[in-house]
Structure 1
Amino acid sequence: MSATILITGASSGIGRETALYYAQQGWNVYALARSTDKLAELAMQFSDKIVPVSLDLTDMTAMQIWLSTLPVTLNFDVVLLNAGNCEYVDATDLDLAAFERTFAINFQAVVASTKLLLPRLKAGNTLAIVSSMAHFFPFTRSEAYGASKAAVSYFTESLRVDLANTGINVCLIEPGFIDTPLTQKNDFAMPFLMPVAKAAKRIFDGINAGKLRLRFPRRLGYLLRALSLLPYGMRSKLAARMKQS
């Protein structure tokens, strides 16, 4: 019997590529996203493996209704909570609505999805949650995005502690710059930009190996960790200089 994965944010970027990769490996894939058209196009590539599910993950009721239509015996071998978005803000005129939108999808939807999907996991299954390396360093205009990803990383690591006795594997995924429609909007240099297909393989291999945390590209992770060791004042000055360059 084929293994089954549920992936959120599956209509584009990392989610889409990872859904395709898992389907190529023979997995059954429940692909969740808002865009019905993009999901339909995705499912056409593996019609026998990919089940498109059009849902707004910020609508907990809609998720509950959909889950109630599934067989009660269905367990997911892997749940990959990947959906997210990035909005940059202006520090001199903070857009509160941008913060609300960013946290709604990047954090609150992760918490709600975790609550609803945990009953569909059992010992030996994996809950994988996508955060970002963005919270490692104070990047310009990233107050909303970076803060939401910091919240996701802390939530995931704390959750792992509290689920330790359940046998459910909790994997924290913290990508750097990945070549997706989201990053293609950026107007600044993105060091060690990784092709999205390579990121999908890293996720598949890491989850399959039972890793607790995945960070890629590794070179960016090493660089950001080195920067975090700088004296706090020096680190702040460097971040300000990077903004001006």
Structure 2
Amino acid sequence: MTSTCLITGASSGIGRQLALHYAANGWTVYALARSADKLAELSKNAGIHALPLDLTDNTAIQATAANLLDQGVILDLVLLNAGTCEYVDANDLDLAAFERTFAVNYHAVVAASKYFMPLLKASLSPQLAIVSSMAHFFPFTRAEAYGASKAAVSYFTDSLRVDLAGSGISVHLIEPGFVDTPLTQKNDFAMPFLVSVNEAAERIYNGLRRGNSRIRFPRRLSVMLKLLSVLPYNLRNAVALRMKQQ
């Protein structure tokens, strides 16, 4: 029996590669993103169905989920990957940048979880997977909006796992480091232990197949950030300041 997944943010980067990876492994994939043109190109691959959708529009998410439910679609995996990043100036905080970042990175995740979870309930092994980031482990410069939104996503996911225990739906938190995508290619700083989208998709796919509750990669970056997080608070702040000045 063919398994079915829904992937958000599927028009580029990790989401696109995940859609291709799951389809190549025999899954039926519903690929969601705002860019209809990019999704149309992606859907030329066998097994991928394009669903253009603005994830900041709660009504549109609800309508898409209802339409799939009416079609009798049963999802085995909902993979919420869509995200954005905007850096801010602490001397002139751009409130609109915070609103845009949280709209995509956090509020859209909550809304998508709410409306797509009912499509998981008929699956024999339903999984809800949410992509966050390791960025919230450490106070990186100019990342007040992005890091805070990802901290919210990680907390939401871990808390949701507790409250869904016994429901049959397993909840998985994905916290990658730097992945070579169109989003990170805009960065003007060194990105340690950068991994390709191919490697990222493979690690996520294999981690979910094993049922891992938390998927972090690359390991070297995870270990480094964990070590930084246990430093005395003032020393940790000093390290963050030094990194900013480099």
TM-score > 0.5 by shorter chain: yes
Q: 1:29 matched to which residue of 2?
A: 29
1: CA distance between counterparts of 2:106 and 2:116?
Answer: 15
What is the aligned-residue identity percentage?
67
Q: How far 1:71 sits from its partner (Å)?
A: 4.3
Q: 1:110 matched to which residue of 2?
A: 109
Give TM-score, length-normalised by structure 2.
0.97
SS of 1:179 mapped into structure 2: coil
**In the alignment, structure 1 residue 67 sits paired with structure 2 residue 65:** yes
Q: How big is each residue's C-alpha offset from its partner over 1:17-46, in whole Å with a ceiling of 9 and x where there is no partner?
A: 0100001101000000000111011111x1
SS of 1:11 mapped into structure 2: coil
Amino acid at match of 2:84: N
What residue ranges of structure 2 are gaps of 5+ in the alignment? none
Q: 2:3 matched to which residue of 1?
A: 3
2: CA distance between counterparts of 1:238 and 1:51?
Answer: 46
Moved more, 62-71 or 49-58: 62-71
Report if the CA contact (8 A) 2:133-2:176 is conserved: yes
Q: How far 1:8 sits from its partner (Å)?
A: 0.2
Q: 2:85 matched to which residue of 1?
A: 86
Report if the CA contact (8 A) 2:61-2:111 is conserved: no
Q: How big is each residue's C-alpha offset from its partner over 1:159-202, in whole Å with a ceiling of 9 and x where there is no partner?
A: 00000010111000000000000100001000000011000000
Q: How far 1:214 sits from its partner (Å)?
A: 0.2
What residue ranges of structure 1 are gaps of 5+ in the alignment? none
Q: How far 1:63 sits from its partner (Å)?
A: 1.6
Q: 2:40 matched to which residue of 1?
A: 40
Q: 1:16 matched to which residue of 2?
A: 16
SS of 1:32 mapped into structure 2: strand
What is the total number of aligned residue pairs between the two structures? 243
Q: How far 1:67 sits from its partner (Å)?
A: 2.2
Q: 1:191 matched to which residue of 2?
A: 192
Q: 2:53 matched to which residue of 1?
A: 55
Q: How far 1:70 sits from its partner (Å)?
A: 2.1
Q: How far 1:124 sits from its partner (Å)?
A: 2.0
1: CA distance between counterparts of 2:67 and 2:14?
Answer: 27
SS of 1:30 mapped into structure 2: strand
Over the residues paired in the alignment, what is the CA RMSD in angstroms?
Answer: 0.9
2: CA distance between counterparts of 1:158 and 1:71?
Answer: 26
SS of 1:141 mapped into structure 2: coil
Q: How big is each residue's C-alpha offset from its partner over 1:179-229, in whole Å with a ceiling of 9 and x where there is no partner?
A: 000100001000000011000000100101000000001110000001111
SS of 1:215 mapped into structure 2: strand
